[in-house]
Amino acid sequence: MESKTLSDDEIRQQSSLSSQEAQPVQEKKSFKRVLIDNVKEPGSALQIVIAAALAIAIGLIVTSTTDSIPPAVAPLIGIPGTLWLRSLKAVVLPLIICSMILAVQKLKEMTSGKARKLGIATIVYYVGTTVLAIVHSIIMTALVWRNLMVVASRESLVLSDDDAEKYEERTEVKIESVVVQMFESFIPNNVVNALATDSLLAVLVTSVIVGALIKGPTSHLLKVVIEVEKIILRVITWLIKVAPIGVFFLILPNMFKLNLADIGTNLGILIGGSLSGMAIHLFIVLPIVYFAFTRKNPYVYWFKCSPAWTTAWGTASSAATLPVTLNVARARGVPRTIVDFSVPLGCLINMDGTAIYFPVVVVFMAATQGITLGPTDYIIILLLSTLASIGTTPIPSSSLVLTVMIAQSVNVPLTGMYAVVVAIDWFIDRFRTATNVSGDLFAADVMRKYTGIEDLDDDYQEADVGNVATTTAIDRV
């Protein structure tokens, strides 16, 4: 029997073919299949969008077909949403403490000056994008929206007795007091009180100092911080999975407050001007800045971050969305060191959506009274809006008091139109928050490219649990 001798090349070729046959062929899922899988996934961005759309549709149907809704209905229906939001807020404070301590520890290990570069660059970026947001908002408001607004009737400008008493407290807010309070908010006079009263900026500064004072990775306190963060992230994982339920029951009660008959021309322009300004910033200004630094497609990156900004829209709170924002930024490949430092800081001082809103609402209150603002007034609005947006707390509708302060600074009296602003603020606030959170996510990736910081080890990576809910359909196509 004749034996056949195989050459080395033939042997390698046959082994290569056999190994290819052994590997299972992975078929690429169709986009339709991916969407279906994404809808089924607990806490996915599509589930949150569907929940929000259902809440809006049901709310519009009820308000348009019912003459009056009993006052008790909205708070009772909103109980599940309120509990979910309170749960998110409950983990924000310990999450900020852990994230900042771990971030500072990682920055201490860097000897090339990257830590200092990250700190300065992050603050400059946030302040710079805020100024850009206010500038294009003022330009659009002065050249476009102001010309479309009309003077309101005398009856609508009159403040009711109840409103006058409530607004009198807000008129007492002075510019100098805002400046003093902003600087005082950096240093707590009582750390325990700062924790108890959710003074987030003071807690952040204190956490940075504690993180800088902890000596080395062998510290028992540092090990405790790492374990606490793991527990927090497991809680966040569960909260993200039930996010669609929470968002649905947060939006639905607010829809019951919406009276379509009350939305007149001026209010429509206020809403349109605010949302268009945020759209310009979110889809033109920030993408240009992002592409200039990273040379990546900003829109693909933004869509992949959809779990964060959809949650922000549903909660209307940057602070409540912070756990989701951190998870999403890490899932996008941004180093933990950058994420843990820049995102919590952005949650507190990066308020681009709020900055855009201030000029529009002040001009709205002036135009409805027939008051025309001059160039000097707009410069004052620019400066105060920058200051006020940084000093705004990351909680729903916190900008209402500062709006009064800015309006008074340019001699715009408080009238009944402010009641209209208050009535619709809950709606616009959701878009402001989504814009703010999107800015934080863009900033994190920009800082990654600008500083060149990378996570050199996996010391803290095992704390990254629960990123399942931060995956979007785009990742799987």
What is the rounded average pLDDT of the residues 160-182?
A: 59
Distance CA 53, CA 97 (A): 35
Confidence (pLDDT) at 27 = 54
In a domain, 415, yes or no: yes
Residue positions counted in the chain: 477
What type of residue is 31?
F
Which domain covers residue 347, as residue numbers? 112-201+259-452+461-476
Pick from 118-127, 147-156, 389-398: least confident: 389-398
Label residue 466 by pLDDT band (50, 70, 90): very low
Distance CA 385, CA 410 (A): 12
What is the rounded average pLDDT of the residues 394-407?
A: 68
- What is the pLDDT of the chain when averaged over all its residues? 79
- Greatest Cα pair distance in the chain: 112
Please indicate whether residue 48 or residue 279 has the higher confidence score (pLDDT).
279
Concatenated DSSP letters for 413-453? ---THHHHHHHHHHHHHHHHHHHHHHHHHHHHHHHHHHH--
Confidence (pLDDT) at 284 = 95
11-19 contact pairs (CB < 8 A, 24+): none
Confidence (pLDDT) at 152 = 62
Taking only the tens place, the pLDDT of each residue in 210-263 is 888 888 778 888 889 889 988 988 888 888 888 888 888 888 887 776 655 555
Residue in the block written with tokens 């009238």: 415
Pick from 98-102, 331-335, 388-392: least confident: 388-392
Q: How many domains does the chain have?
A: 1
Label residue 8 by pLDDT band (50, 70, 90): low
Confidence (pLDDT) at 13 = 53
Sign of CA dihedral 36, 37, 42, 46: negative
In a domain, 56, yes or no: no
Which pTM does this prediction carry? 0.73
Choose among 159, 45, 192: nearest CA to 404. Answer: 159
Pick from 132-136, 165-169, 354-358: least confident: 165-169
Distance CA 439, CA 346 (A): 8
Sign of CA dihedral 314, 463, 118, 120: positive
Distance CA 328, CA 236 (A): 12
In a domain, 18, yes or no: no
Distance CA 149, CA 364 (A): 7
Q: 369 with 151: CB under 8 angstroms?
A: yes
Helices and strands in the chain: count of H runs, count of E runs: 25, 0
Distance CA 405, CA 455 (A): 44
Rg (CA), the chain: 26
Residue in the block written with tokens 């971050």: 305
- Does residue 446 have a pLDDT over 80? yes
What is the rounded average pLDDT of the residues 360-387?
A: 86
Confidence (pLDDT) at 67 = 76
User: What is the SS3 assignment for 255?
Assistant: helix
Choose among 434, 38, 467, 456: nearest CA to 240. Answer: 467
Confidence (pLDDT) at 291 = 96
Label residue 166 by pLDDT band (50, 70, 90): low
Taking only the tens place, the pLDDT of each residue in 349-362 is 888 998 899 899 99
Token representation of residue 329: 């930024």
In a domain, 165, yes or no: yes
Kindly report the CATH number assigned to the domain that includes residue 169. 1.10.3860.10
Phi-psi region of 118 (alpha: psi -120 to 50; beta: other; left: phi over 0): alpha
Pick from 75-79, 190-194, 397-401: least confident: 397-401
Orientation of helix 400-409 relative to helix 175-184, angle to 10° = 140
- Does residue 59 have a pLDDT over 60? yes
Cα–Cα–Cα angle for 378, 285, 432, nearest 5°?
70
Distance CA 401, CA 174 (A): 11
In a domain, 133, yes or no: yes
In a domain, 35, yes or no: no
User: What is the SS3 assignment for 254?
Assistant: helix
In a domain, 215, yes or no: no
Distance CA 7, CA 34 (A): 46
Q: 140 with 359: CB under 8 angstroms?
A: no
What type of residue is 14?
Q
- Does residue 286 have a pLDDT over 80? yes
Contacts of 389 by beta carbon, 8 Å cutoff, 6+ apart: 130, 134, 351, 352, 354, 355, 358, 399
